Copies of this chain bind each other. A is one copy, B any other.
Amino acid sequence: MTTLPRRGGLPENLISFKGCRAHIPPSTMLTENPRVVFAKRPGTGMPVAGEHIVFEPSHSIDLDQVPLNGGFLTKTLMLSPEPFMRERMRDLCIPSYSTHAVLGDPLVSFGLVVVMRSEKEGINPGDHLYGLTTWEAYTVQPYVQGRAKYDAREVPDYTFDVDALSLQMVPDPKGAFPWSRYFTVLGAPGLTAFCGFEGCADAKAGETIYVSSGASAVGIVVIQLAKAKGLKVIASAGADVKVEYMRSLGADVAFNYKTTPIAKVLQEHGPLDLYWDNVGGETVEIAIENSRLRARLIMCGSISEYTVAPEDRYGIKNTSMIFKKRLRIEGFLVPDLAPALAPRFYAEMPGLVAAGKVTAKEHITVGLENGPEALVAVLKAGGNEAAGKPVILVANE
């Protein structure tokens, strides 16, 4: 038996699957199974498509005979390029809230898949599932390649096992809304916004909230939840088309932070009772400066900092205002709040979306081969000039 190379092109008659090396008869029908792999750590900079994140078309799979080992085989329909994927690409010595991405294996992100074959009870061909999956055309689930080693004793207590966010069945919207909506209001971003807003904000009608990255998948849901609760909403984004989009969602004040200084807008339309932080850095300082007594700052993400070395990050100098203004600054991750809030989210949100009371927009990029570029665009501040959450359409059903 030939030794299976860990990376690179596979010999056609070998299937790689978690240490199992199966010899497949040459007559087997193989289907192309392209993937996008995490090829090289980008250090503190921006990952480069083709260098750090590489499309590999040369893999293949036998859809009829690949062993399922009690699991199930899925076809990837859509994938979601996400900021947290950059965090997983950090150097091994840097601790963070997520496990590391595995070098040489496919990227992992939220995705929508359809079941082709199954040995698992309760999972049937034709079922649609949404959750963490690998960036490849077909996957034996639960996926093994791309899965990070997780040993709670070896990581800080705030690091959680990203790969544990498993696929979950999602109902067929039957035309009430597009499947892609599972990547915005009805998926992880919607749940993130819901958990943070309902769990940390203490929002009251008449208060003023500022949402940075207001056109992001999380931001658009925060805007709509805040408007539904009677808040005045200030929202920023890095492209005029996104500003228009935020306005269409109900933002009272929407602006392009690349052309209008944030401080100027907040001085005019603040002070803030709430700040939803998706960006980190200097914007947090400006929000503190423009906060009212007992304002709450909800720390959800830090997109401005993921590709900046820790020592080069912006230093916030007005932390003494935290006690002077009696502010509360709170960070959260969905896995912390979801046990309490997800049931309400799944009970309420699909109905609101079907009724058109909460809306979203997805920006579809066709083809897994364009995945690396789509991910890099997400990581650039305002790099994606289109309004709508980027989604990669890998295949139709």
* A157 and B157 alpha carbons, distance in the complex (Å): 39
- B-binding segment of A162-170, A209-217, A331-339, A346-354: A331-339
Q: Is the CB of A336 within 8 A of B326?
A: yes
Collect the chain B residues with CB atoms within 8 Å of residue A331's CB: 321-328
Q: Is the CB of A97 within 8 A of B299?
A: no
Q: Is A310 an interface residue when CB atoms closer than 8 A count as contact?
A: yes
Q: Is the CB of B329 within 8 A of A284?
A: no
- B-binding segment of A3-11, A49-57, A223-231, A311-319: A311-319
Q: Is the CB of B316 within 8 A of A323?
A: no
Q: How many identical chains are in the complex?
A: 2
Q: Is the CB of B328 within 8 A of A333?
A: no
* A156 and B158 alpha carbons, distance in the complex (Å): 37
* A320 and B310 alpha carbons, distance in the complex (Å): 10
Q: Is A189 an interface residue when CB atoms closer than 8 A count as contact?
A: no
Collect the chain B residues with CB atoms within 8 Å of residue A322's CB: 299, 329-331
Q: Is the CB of A313 within 8 A of B302?
A: no
Q: Which A residues from 118 to 174 make CB contacts under 8 A with B?
A: 156-158
Q: Is the CB of A318 within 8 A of B310?
A: yes
Q: Is the CB of A324 within 8 A of B96?
A: yes
Q: Is the CB of B329 within 8 A of A333?
A: no
CB distance from A362 to the nearest CB of B (A): 25
Residue in B293, B310, B311, B315 whose beta carbon sits within 8 Å of that of A158 in the complex: B293
Q: Which A residues from 271 to 313 make CB contacts under 8 A with B?
A: 271, 277, 280-281, 284, 292-294, 299-302, 305, 310-311, 313
Collect the chain B residues with CB atoms within 8 Å of residue A281's CB: 319
> A250-285 interface mask toward B, CB cutoff 8 Å, 1 = contact, 0 = none?
000000000000000000000100000100110010
Q: Is the CB of B332 within 8 A of A323?
A: yes
* A305 and B322 alpha carbons, distance in the complex (Å): 13
CB distance from A315 to the nearest CB of B (A): 2
Collect the chain B residues with CB atoms within 8 Å of residue A280's CB: 319-320
Collect the chain B residues with CB atoms within 8 Å of residue A310's CB: 317-318
Collect the chain B residues with CB atoms within 8 Å of residue A293's CB: 156-158
Residue in B277, B300, B317, B324 whose beta carbon sits within 8 Å of that of A315 in the complex: B317
Residue in B158, B292, B320 whose beta carbon sits within 8 Å of that of A324 in the complex: B158
Collect the chain B residues with CB atoms within 8 Å of residue A300's CB: 323
Residue in B277, B311, B327, B330 whose beta carbon sits within 8 Å of that of A317 in the complex: B311
Collect the chain B residues with CB atoms within 8 Å of residue A325's CB: 97, 158, 331
* A135 and B329 alpha carbons, distance in the complex (Å): 37
Collect the chain B residues with CB atoms within 8 Å of residue A324's CB: 96-97, 158, 331, 333
Given A158-B292, A316-B315: A301 and B323 within 8 A (CB)? Answer: yes
CB distance from A161 to the nearest CB of B (A): 14
* A316 and B282 alpha carbons, distance in the complex (Å): 11
* A315 and B277 alpha carbons, distance in the complex (Å): 18
Residue in B156, B317, B336 whose beta carbon sits within 8 Å of that of A313 in the complex: B317
* A332 and B294 alpha carbons, distance in the complex (Å): 9
Collect the chain B residues with CB atoms within 8 Å of residue A156's CB: 271, 293
22 A–B pairs (Cβ distance < 8 Å), ordered by A: A97-B325, A157-B271, A158-B292, A158-B293, A277-B323, A284-B319, A299-B320, A299-B322, A302-B319, A305-B320, A311-B317, A313-B317, A314-B315, A314-B317, A321-B331, A322-B329, A323-B331, A326-B331, A326-B336, A327-B331, A328-B329, A329-B329
Apart from A310-B317, A315-B316, A315-B317, 11 more pairs, CB < 8 Å: A97-B323, A156-B271, A158-B293, A284-B319, A299-B322, A299-B323, A302-B319, A313-B320, A316-B317, A322-B331, A326-B333
5 nearest interchain CB pairs? A315-B315, A323-B331, A302-B320, A158-B293, A322-B331
